[in-house]
Structure 1
Amino acid sequence: MAPELLEHQSLGALIGLRYNDLGDLEVQIASENTRKIIGYGPEQLFALNSFLDVLKDEVRDEMVARVNHTLHDSTATNQETRLDVFKIILTFPFEPDVRLWCAMHHAPEPEGLVICEFEEYHDAFMLRDIRAASSLPEAPISSMEVSPEELARSTTSKSRPLPVINVARQRKNKEFSSLDLFNALSQAQKQISWCTSVQNVLEVVVGIVAELTGFHRVMVYRFDSQKNGCVDAELVNPQASTDVWLGLNYPSSDIPQQARELYVINRIRLLHDREAETSRLVCRNERDFEKPLNLTHAYLRAMSPVHNKYLANMGVRSTMSISIVIDGDLWGLIACHGYGDVGIKVSLPIRELCRNIGECVAFKIQQLLMKKRIDARRAPMPTPSQNNAGFIAASSSDLLKLVDAEFAILSVDDDARAIGRLDPYQEAIAITSYLQTCKFTSIRASDNISADFPAIASIRQINTIAGFLLVPLNFGGGNDCIVFFRKGQTKQVKWAGNPHEKKYRSTEGEYLEPRASFQRWVDTVSGTSREWTEDQIDTASVLGLLYGRFIEVWRQKGSAKQANQISQIRASSRELRTPLNAIVNYLEMALENRIDDKTRHILDRAQEASTSLGYVMEDLLKLTKPEDTPTHGSEETFNLSLTVSRAMKGLQKDASCKDLDMTVSVSEQLPRMVKGGLIRFKEVLQHLTSYAYRQSRSINVQIDLIGTHRDTSTVGFIIKDNGPGMSESELDDVFQELEQAQDDDDWLFATNESGPAAAPPGPRADLAIVARYIRDVNGQIRLSSEPGRGTIFRLEIPFTHAQSCELSRSRKFKSLFSPSLSSHRGLSPPSPPPPVGAPKLGLSAGKRPEAAGPSLNQADRTLGPGPDSPRHVPSIELNGRPEASTRVVSNGRSSRNDTNSGPHTETDSMDPVAAGPKLTVLIAEDNIVSQKMLGKKIAMRGHDVIFASDGQEAHDRFAASGGRVDIILMDLKMPSVDGALATRMIRFYEKESSFRAQQATGRDSLTPRPRVPILAMSAQLLEDHRFEYIQTGFDGWIVKPLDFQRLDLILQGVKNAGAKRESLYVPGQWEKGGWFFP
């Protein structure tokens, strides 16, 4: 209905008033029927100097006051129609006075115009025994077949009669007073307030409105999320119509958006008679036509011809609507219909009463809906045996009941877990994957996925799941979420007539007329789920907040726990590494002496065992370093080809013992030396074949190289059985078991009914082990099956390459003092050659060789180095970096140059080696073993050594040295006085000594003694803290475990500027150690 229509219903008259320049209230606009309603025609009204001239004296002041109030307080009217309704009396020269009802409001356009609508004064309630019969049709309207039960339900009132109406029916004076209206409103509100459900409210209000207005049919027309209408309650007079509209649906096009917006503004709309002629509006001057009058807030604005035709097709003559507005949105309408040949009149006071009843209904419905939301938020009452704190998280069924979902997926840190049984599995995974790529930050709901998200259907055909509710858990900026799912359902929708039967204009494409039939038309709808209600979405938002906070706290707790473990590892590492480093270095020193071959062989084995333990220590310490990628401390270097061959050989042997058939095909292109979890990898092969044997007595295993990228090779494992195969639903079950194969200790929420439990024996345990391994190594697992044709498992496992030499010596263990043997010795002493016939299979340093198994085939035998493999001459870099070291341990023995396998020469003695100018080095180290070892190494270089066991002793020995100390190696962590405090004490002593010398000689020109360089020495030195070390007074640093070649270069820098420049600080090379400044 366009608000610019300049037509008015003939039930009342309209005039527009405006103050002129003289302050008179002139009539600017009038409807053509003013003479019939008011008694003055438009020409007479325009001729008046002021409209007040035709009012009775006693109401003129009231009229002026109401006009001024309307002009100055029009804010509420612009948002919602709230007219000022009052009684007015017009006077005539030779006729009796006329009383009228007047409804006044400020017109939005043009500015300054006050609209007054006048209606016949009627002040009596509608009494059925007086006026009801005159408005009834000759025969009841009947256009559909209804059952007696349906008719009885729609003709029985659920409301109680209003006492004020009963009193008015019995008294002689039928007029109502303002107190009667107040009593009617109070009595109606009391009945509504007693209602306990929304449906009960609707059933009561239709009875109350029917009693107050006398309409033959009163119904509640509720709008759904698509703005389609549904009749949820009705009360019909069977003498007027036997049609039952309860439960029928109406398409959204019946009440378009523009009309719905007007219903929000006009809470009361009335059409007295659809066949009555409308009255045109007449303007005082031609210029008043330049700005069309806006009748948005007019009570008696004329209806559109399309709407009148719509009512005619239903056989309806009179209508009135009462809007139910909740939170600014049109929730529904109380629609009133009158039949017969005479329109039903409802006076202005009764219409205002109905508007207040509509507001009371809206408030009660909102209250009940809010109560339902609050009840939905309450957690189910746990049984005494359940843990209250974890009940919601531990019980998947109760979690699903909160939003009435059938199953769900919880995704945290890119790990997904099923809540309930995913059916179908593949559709749920496809939908969840798509939603995660969208990265929604607010709740999303859909009851028709194909229509709302066509991109999902383009990725995978969605047949079963029709609705989802996405709840983002975005605390910390992650992509965590919970997705609830509902399956599609086939439902029948009863429409009032065929909603698709519409006639259009041939040129403009607009409706020419509405559908002519309103008989029941049943439409079968599929591909949609139940609609997500507002309280369910509200509950989901609370769940999102709750789970989001849980995840945030869980992550913080995990970080704190990890930080605590790291600090414990760091604290214990120093205590463990110090004696271990001493053992390794003492063994190296022992090997440098002249000893017999048998003793050398024993010392070699001891050194290798100690070095292997050092590797484990370094792996543990790597866990304490923050890195972008996860570090697995269980990684080790092994021969993949040999491991696979041996594992398959053992499985074939077990299969033959059990009368099972197993065919194995291993590619020769597999990488040899790789890093990874050897034990877990072999367990995966064992459990996967074990699962395959449960399906068939014959399996085929194929292992190939899929591809290589830089230092990583992806190996494919295909296990195929000849069993009965699996159906689609059985495949879904297997995939869900794989998805649920998570470590319960590491997962935030338990989603099974019984809480955390160990994996059950049998197939599920096999799948759990396989799934966890694949997850940890970032691999992939695929499963395909077809009934009657068997099942195929496809695994893709990435392996990081390891150099061949890392088989025996993964890396050079950086001991606390590890000088290069080759720096002052030509070649390392040899070790005895391996015994003849020993297998040349590479083993990781420090690892026990596997027990000899069945003889290997030719391919297996050529996996390791052959009998003619050349021996490796050690060439160990002094910085101790694993990449640069090439010492090889084969068959558990250190391979050295065979040219020195005979008796040792004099060069093997412990003679000092010249290393530049002789220095006096003060070593501050609290560990006696490390102290003596470091002193011995430095003394071997020809330097003098002074020892101190703590910071105070270091200060005292420096002060007592008389200036002989050339450099100080200061350990940071020492008892009593630590290295930092000792350094500040020494710097203070230097300044004090210089000041005293100047005071004693009285000459400021005395050349001060050079500052003694101090090197910070610790395993905990950090590059980011270097400025703190400089401010403390340190001149350089050296990181434990020490690289003795680097230390030697730093010591030379005390008196050699070139050596000092060579060992200056370089960003990114902190572990080398050096000088801060030249």
Structure 2
Amino acid sequence: MDQYRNIPGCRRCEDEPIHTPGAIQSFGAIVGLKYNDLGDLQVRIASENTRKILGCGPEQLFALTSFLDVLKDEIRDEMVARVNHTLQAGAAAQEETRLDVFQIILIFPYEPEIRLWCAIHLAPKPEGLVICEFEEYLDAFFLKDIRATKMLPESPISSMEVTPEELKKSTTSKSKPLPVIDIARQRKNKEFSSLDLFNALAQAQKQIIRCCTVHELQEVVVGLVAELTGFHRVMFYRFDSQKNGRVDAELLNPKASTDVWLGLNYPASDIPKQARDLYIINRIRILLDREAETSRLVCREASDSESPLDLTHAYLRAMSPIHNKYLANMGVRSTMSISIVINNDLWGLVACHGYGDIGIRVSLPIRELCRNIGECAASRIQQILMQQRIDARRAPTATPSSQHNASFIAASSSDLLKLVEADFALLSIDDDARAIGRLDPYPEAIAITSYLQTCKFTEIKSSDNINRDFPLISQRHEIKSIAGLLLIPLNFGGGNDFLVFFRKGQMKQVQWAGNPHTKKYQTGSECLEPRASFARWVETISGTSQEWTDDQLDTASVLGLLYGLRTPLNAIANYLEMALENQVDDKTRHILDRAQDASTSLGYVMDDLMKLTKLEDSPTQGSDETFNLNLTVARAMKGLQKDASRKGLELSVSVNEQLPAMVKGDPDRLKDALLHLTSYAFKQSNHVNVEVDLIKTKKNISMIGFTIQDNGPGKSEAELDDTFQEFEAAQDDDDWLFATKENSASPLTAEGRSTKADLALIARYLRDTNGQIRLHSEAGKGTIFTVEIPFEQVQTSDSHSRKLRNLFSPSLSGNRGLSPPGPPPSMKTPKPSGTGEKGKIAIGANGNGLGSPTTPQFPLPPRVSSAHLDAHAPQNGGAQQTNNRSSALYIDNDPEFLTSGLRLNVLVAEDSLVSQKMLEKRIGMRGHEVVVTGDGQECHDRFAASGGKVDVIIMDLKMPTVDGALATRMIRFHEKESNFRNQQSNGREVQTPRQRVPVLAMSTALVEENRFEYIQNGFDGWIMKPIDFQRLDLILQGVKNPELKRNSLYVPGQWEKGGWFFP
């Protein structure tokens, strides 16, 4: 209510000095005691009603030499001991109210003894002043007698319509009656003893401890408090992060009121901050009668009034006029509250209301009993909430293998978002933002991140209402959709890096107890008037998100700490390694070995946790090898042109002749980027043009430009923003980065393929290579992607022979040996296009170029052993000699597998050039004949043309154009079709049906739970990447040897070994 801040004479709730009211409630009296220089316990402050309560007015008390003079003899020593103990407690007693409650007896000449309850504590101010609160001595539990009936209003208060079900729910107690009270009702002597109080507390705690949910506990607590105190309405409030209160449980006496407040919300402004702080310190607050006159405090001398008496810990503290008006508007006469404090925060409040013309009095011992019940409830609530958090943490579904100690920790970015239930996130590293998930809406996310980059937060920040908690953002930008954020600083070492999660806003309806916005200032009134009605008022709220839970904040803390722990952990591992290099005894070496293994394993775990934020570059950097740029581009385009020709699409490719021949980089990632960009263009158009140019060369760095143009409908400005968001979401759906799920077919052939994952691959590749991408589009004219990538040139002696014009020589297709595999035979020498630019070679898709549908043959190379290769190898240097030396290295590592004698014709489908070379060499070294294809379509074509000469197929699952699963289904269909044709042959002799050719699935992401899916796709076995060639050799021998095949059958829990599904 800041609009009332500048009104002269207007006092708001938060402006009131509630801890120093200068008055007390009149049902008790206060005396302030302080030792003088002579050691006498003098009365320095007294309430003006002491004559009514103590039998002695303030003037008489000030005249006493010592307050001990009016106490009964046997009480005096006890009083001195209690006062001294209170003084010794000092500042430690100021954090929480713990009053010392006891009986006291006052005596006056010719007067009967006065027995009172006394509660003493040390006043925060002035220093050294001991406050004694005196109340009438009542020592009976609340009994449902005639007095209780008199405290009811003449007729029940009713201001809202409620259903019978709602009224029944609020008038039914869920707690069990306390036996100690039932017994007290049967005694003639209604007084309770200390043992009765102990029994009552024990019986109440027993019911609370048995509660298994927070709501069950809340319902039990309101029932217990209502039974002990006799209040007509007892409610259990629970506060949210903004300190708005909600009634979660209620017990109502229908004779007092029929209004049901269960489920209603109360705004945080109902309890100002200084009142909330006071609730945390003094956890029992009592108001006997809001209409009763208060009693002022009187001082002995003027010096005693220099500092107002701080009544923070006093039970008798007078209430503010605004609060009394608030209660009057509700028709409430007396109240009591019990604070529920968890981790020094006001988590909830048990509020008690009494109606009628007579206030409900609760004695000091019963109040202390209620305070203990509140503390027990807070402790049990904390236990339940912690147990819920523990139960919410899911255990792994299987035990990690020994080779991958933390395989269940690494996950995709979608798992990272699920950790804190966020919609998307942004990672800011060196003021460069990376998207995690789809930024929607994009402008809002960028605006908020730009503001956060200027703040340099060093602590975790969370908000479920950005416009409220970060007003500077809303002043500069219009934030409508995004409502919540969770910021994790990663600025170890003084940087400004952070990870921020976002949540979108949600529309929600809140039922308030009256309109919370109707506070008003009346002219001539000193105070701001509270709302007059507490009837249900429904408000629709927007711009807020779901609140961040404690568990999610803890998760954020763990993610932030990971970035600071790896450095010392690596140092420990290094020191252990240095220690192991020295001469140590066997026992010490054993201990050091175990310590190093533990630190290394922990390092792997932390690395996998770091991968959740995609900060590690190692999984995506790829190789830095020397490769032929022309060959890589040609192979990338060849597969797409075949597929485009088959679908009636047109793909034109032109390559600048001046491109460097050999460069350093990652050919597989370059090929994937070109494939995905071209496939993306085909989604917009039936004609795509690809141009590869040399933009500039500086020293040994060549900037290569790739332009992909379509003639589609083009993109609007909003669609351009969406496309760039796809690129910026570089960490989303990275199944190629982490082996979490299998990739499906390329966008060109599979409708369900995620375009976002493809563009993410491109974005990450360009980020790693310092490349750039530009997008130009006009409506009705199409879209142009321009990618610029720097490559380091490598000078080789045979670079001139590797120009593009020589890449399609037929000689390359017939010599497969141990040299890198050349293009398939269907690739023909391109001819310059008449419309091509000068210096470029244009490749069409009309059947005479790369996309020629010529049926490929299945070339089986001659069987060549390693000895034969050595005997015929050139004696001078060269590539062949180098390859032989590499082969010898592998032979030395696995000598036993060359003597198995088994010779198989192995067909391999693998799109990675590096993997192609490795598979061809390693399988060929074992005496098998190997033919490698670049994708599933080519593998099918080779198999169809082989004439039954293939013994086994090793099929990679993740390939462009046609993936492994689709290719296997195509092969199985071809087998059935061939056998059917043979059976329908017109010849007299029907050919024997061909046996099923086994197909092995190969991937990094094969999942044991999906094995039935692999079987349905036609696979007979599987092998995991990275390939264990010793295990692969055993599996291959099972093709001809049934006994060895049975030895490598599927065994639950040993999935990573690979094997056969069936005998």
SS at match of 2:352: strand
Q: Note closer, same or farther for the CA distance 1:487–1:790 as it changes in structure 2 (3 Å cut).
A: farther
Match of 2:517 among 477, 500, 510: 500
1:795 maps to 2:781: no
What is the CA-CA distance between 1:156 and the residue it aligns to?
A: 1.0
1:277 maps to 2:282: no
AA partner of residue 789 (structure 2):
P
Q: Note closer, same or farther for the CA distance 1:263–1:190 as it changes in structure 2 (3 Å cut).
A: same
What is the CA-CA distance between 1:210 and the residue it aligns to?
A: 0.7
What is the CA-CA distance between 1:362 and the residue it aligns to?
A: 1.2
TM-score, with structure 1 as normaliser:
0.60
Cα deviation digits, residues 948-975 of structure 1 (max 9, x gap): xxxxxxxxxxxxxxxxxxxxxxxxxxxx
Match of 2:772 among 766, 780, 798: 780
Distance 1:134 1:384 in 2: 71
1:54 maps to 2:54: no
| Structure-2 residue corresponding to 1:593 | none
Q: Note closer, same or farther for the CA distance 1:369–1:684 as it changes in structure 2 (3 Å cut).
A: closer
Between stretches 657-666 and 692-701, larger displacement belongs to 657-666
Q: Which has the larger radius of gyration?
A: 1
| Structure-2 residue corresponding to 1:2 | 18
- Size of the alignment, in residue pairs? 754
| Structure-2 residue corresponding to 1:391 | 408
| Structure-1 residue corresponding to 2:317 | 301
Q: Note closer, same or farther for the CA distance 1:517–1:783 as it changes in structure 2 (3 Å cut).
A: farther
AA partner of residue 832 (structure 2):
S
| Structure-2 residue corresponding to 1:241 | 257
Cα deviation digits, residues 302-354 of structure 1 (max 9, x gap): 11111111111111110111111112121121111111111111111111111
What is the CA-CA distance between 1:502 and the residue it aligns to?
A: 1.7
What is the CA-CA distance between 1:274 and the residue it aligns to?
A: 0.6
What is the CA-CA distance between 1:95 and the residue it aligns to?
A: 2.4
SS at match of 1:74: helix
Q: Note closer, same or farther for the CA distance 1:374–1:501 as it changes in structure 2 (3 Å cut).
A: same
AA partner of residue 697 (structure 1):
N
1:854 maps to 2:831: yes
What is the CA-CA distance between 1:69 and the residue it aligns to?
A: 1.8
AA partner of residue 721 (structure 1):
N
Cα deviation digits, residues 123-182 of structure 1 (max 9, x gap): 000112342111101111112222222111111111001001100111111000110001
Cα deviation digits, residues 958-1012 of structure 1 (max 9, x gap): xxxxxxxxxxxxxxxxxxxxxxxxxxxxxxxxxxxxxxxxxxxxxxxxxxxxxxx
Alignment of 1:226-265 (within 5 A): 226-265=242-281
Cα deviation digits, residues 490-510 of structure 1 (max 9, x gap): 1101111111112247899x9
**Identity in percent:** 65
Aligned 8 A contact 1:103 1:118 in 2? yes
Distance 1:73 1:276 in 2: 34
Cα deviation digits, residues 553-611 of structure 1 (max 9, x gap): 899999x99xxxxxxxxxxxxxxxxxxxxxxxxxxxxxxxxxxxxxxxxxxxxxxxxxx
Match of 1:467 among 481, 484, 488: 484
Distance 2:567 2:128 in 1: 60
What is the CA-CA distance between 1:277 and the residue it aligns to?
A: 0.5
AA partner of residue 259 (structure 2):
D
Q: Note closer, same or farther for the CA distance 1:489–1:550 as it changes in structure 2 (3 Å cut).
A: farther
Aligned 8 A contact 1:637 1:807 in 2? no
Q: Note closer, same or farther for the CA distance 1:534–1:784 as it changes in structure 2 (3 Å cut).
A: farther
| Structure-2 residue corresponding to 1:693 | 682
SS at match of 2:789: strand
Distance 1:762 1:164 in 2: 78
| Structure-1 residue corresponding to 2:237 | 221
AA partner of residue 390 (structure 1):
S
Q: Note closer, same or farther for the CA distance 1:89–1:791 as it changes in structure 2 (3 Å cut).
A: farther
Between stretches 100-109 and 49-58, larger displacement belongs to 49-58
What is the CA-CA distance between 1:659 and the residue it aligns to?
A: 5.7
AA partner of residue 339 (structure 2):
S
Distance 1:683 1:389 in 2: 29
Distance 1:742 1:489 in 2: 29
Aligned 8 A contact 2:44 2:300 in 1? yes
What is the CA-CA distance between 1:288 and the residue it aligns to?
A: 2.0
What is the CA-CA distance between 1:531 and the residue it aligns to?
A: 0.7
Distance 2:448 2:489 in 1: 14
Aligned 8 A contact 1:376 1:535 in 2? no
Aligned 8 A contact 2:158 2:259 in 1? yes
Distance 1:36 1:557 in 2: 78
Q: Note closer, same or farther for the CA distance 1:155–1:397 as it changes in structure 2 (3 Å cut).
A: farther
Aligned 8 A contact 1:29 1:283 in 2? yes
| Structure-2 residue corresponding to 1:67 | 83
Cα deviation digits, residues 166-200 of structure 1 (max 9, x gap): 00111111000110001001111111010111111
Alpha-carbon RMSD across the aligned residues, in angstroms, is: 5.1
Aligned 8 A contact 1:9 1:277 in 2? yes
SS at match of 2:377: helix
AA partner of residue 685 (structure 2):
S
Q: Note closer, same or farther for the CA distance 1:305–1:545 as it changes in structure 2 (3 Å cut).
A: same
AA partner of residue 500 (structure 1):
H
What is the CA-CA distance between 1:633 and the residue it aligns to?
A: 4.4
1:189 maps to 2:205: yes
Distance 1:557 1:411 in 2: 30
What is the CA-CA distance between 1:801 and the residue it aligns to?
A: 8.6
Alignment of 1:995-1034 (within 5 A): none
Q: Note closer, same or farther for the CA distance 1:198–1:388 as it changes in structure 2 (3 Å cut).
A: farther
Distance 1:555 1:778 in 2: 31
Distance 1:332 1:452 in 2: 23
SS at match of 1:503: coil
1:446 maps to 2:474: no
SS at match of 2:341: strand
Distance 1:762 1:459 in 2: 45
Cα deviation digits, residues 468-491 of structure 1 (max 9, x gap): 444566789998876555433211
1:106 maps to 2:122: yes
Distance 1:243 1:658 in 2: 72
Between stretches 140-149 and 693-702, larger displacement belongs to 693-702
SS at match of 1:73: helix
Aligned 8 A contact 2:513 2:535 in 1? yes
| Structure-2 residue corresponding to 1:1028 | none
SS at match of 1:353: helix
1:532 maps to 2:524: no
Alignment of 1:831-870 (within 5 A): 853-855=830-832
What is the CA-CA distance between 1:707 and the residue it aligns to?
A: 9.1
Q: Note closer, same or farther for the CA distance 1:396–1:168 as it changes in structure 2 (3 Å cut).
A: farther
Match of 2:712 among 719, 722, 725: 722
What is the CA-CA distance between 1:289 and the residue it aligns to?
A: 2.0
Q: Note closer, same or farther for the CA distance 1:204–1:650 as it changes in structure 2 (3 Å cut).
A: closer
SS at match of 1:796: strand
TM-score, with structure 2 as normaliser:
0.61
| Structure-2 residue corresponding to 1:572 | none
Distance 1:184 1:81 in 2: 22
Alignment of 1:891-902 (within 5 A): none
Between stretches 776-785 and 258-267, larger displacement belongs to 776-785
Aligned 8 A contact 1:373 1:538 in 2? no
Aligned 8 A contact 1:645 1:860 in 2? no
AA partner of residue 86 (structure 1):
F
Q: Note closer, same or farther for the CA distance 1:461–1:309 as it changes in structure 2 (3 Å cut).
A: closer
Distance 1:421 1:379 in 2: 28
Distance 1:307 1:286 in 2: 31
Distance 1:657 1:32 in 2: 103
Q: Note closer, same or farther for the CA distance 1:718–1:426 as it changes in structure 2 (3 Å cut).
A: farther
Aligned 8 A contact 1:725 1:790 in 2? no
Match of 2:106 among 74, 90, 95: 90
Aligned 8 A contact 1:491 1:526 in 2? yes
Distance 2:652 2:78 in 1: 106
Aligned 8 A contact 2:153 2:357 in 1? yes
What are structure 1's unaligned runs of at least 5 residues? 562-626, 812-845, 865-928, 931-1078
| Structure-2 residue corresponding to 1:168 | 184
Alignment of 1:964-983 (within 5 A): none
